Amino acid sequence: MTARLIIVFLLAVLMTVFFVVGGPDYLTLSTLHTHKVTLLHFVDNHYGISIMLAMFIYILAVALSLPGATFLSLVMGFIFGRWLAWSLLLVSATIGAVIVFWLARYLFYDWAKAKLEKIAVTKKIMSEFEQHALNYLLFLRLVPLFPFWLVNLTMAFTTIKTSRYALGTFFGIMPGCFVFANLGQSLAEITSIEQLLSPSLLLAFILLGLLMLLPVIFNRRQQVLDKK
């Protein structure tokens, strides 16, 4: 219990520091436009350090579920180009998601499980979810309508194995990471992130996510037919 309280306290301190120092104010296009020359100059002169620093910041942002992950994804594309940024985003986001997954399981799993099992409908839903956890995970990762941090916490309260969770996360975020890394190259030319997130792009992600649910749908249909 003491170890858990210490971890919760440290997480609370880190998140408080982020907001006290005005973290969200740095994650804006205006700030990027103001400091882009200095930023690119630093990257040119300290390329290796820049990669490690960028990954560390991104992992920390995901692990603490801080706002601004979309902006950071675009900045990675702006700084490193689509291909390197894509690789860095995949690795960093997966590591950060696994950290959240571990923390949530360690800190809240027993409490959450006890609460959920008292609700019959929720228990049935969780049972169905756990039977096809990887398919649902891929769907949730592919469709950007579901907050990344919320998916991390939700999956922590299922029985999915860490290895499968990491694998599903890695492949599930692959299309999205590439899109944001690619769009990041145009970041210096736009005035609003909303300009990049078109309805057609969101629709493409939703359709791609639905493909991940086809095995679940077919399995359910087969079960119904077998009962008949």
CA distance 83 to 123: 42
CA distance 148 to 102: 15
pLDDT tens track, the chain, 228 positions:
577 777 777 877 877 887 777 777 777 777 777 878 888 899 999 999 999 999 999 999 898 888 778 788 888 988 998 889 999 999 999 999 999 888 888 877 666 666 555 555 455 556 666 667 777 787 778 776 677 777 887 788 777 888 888 988 998 888 888 888 887 776 655 555 555 555 655 555 565 556 555 555 555 554 544 455
Contact of 173 with 93, CB cutoff 8 Å: yes
Measure CA 186 to chain center: 22
Domain boundaries, the chain: 2-227
pLDDT at position 88 is 95
Predicted TM-score (pTM) of this structure: 0.75
Contact of 10 with 3, CB cutoff 8 Å: no
Per-residue model confidence as pLDDT tens digits over 55-90: 999 999 898 888 778 788 888 988 998 889 999 999
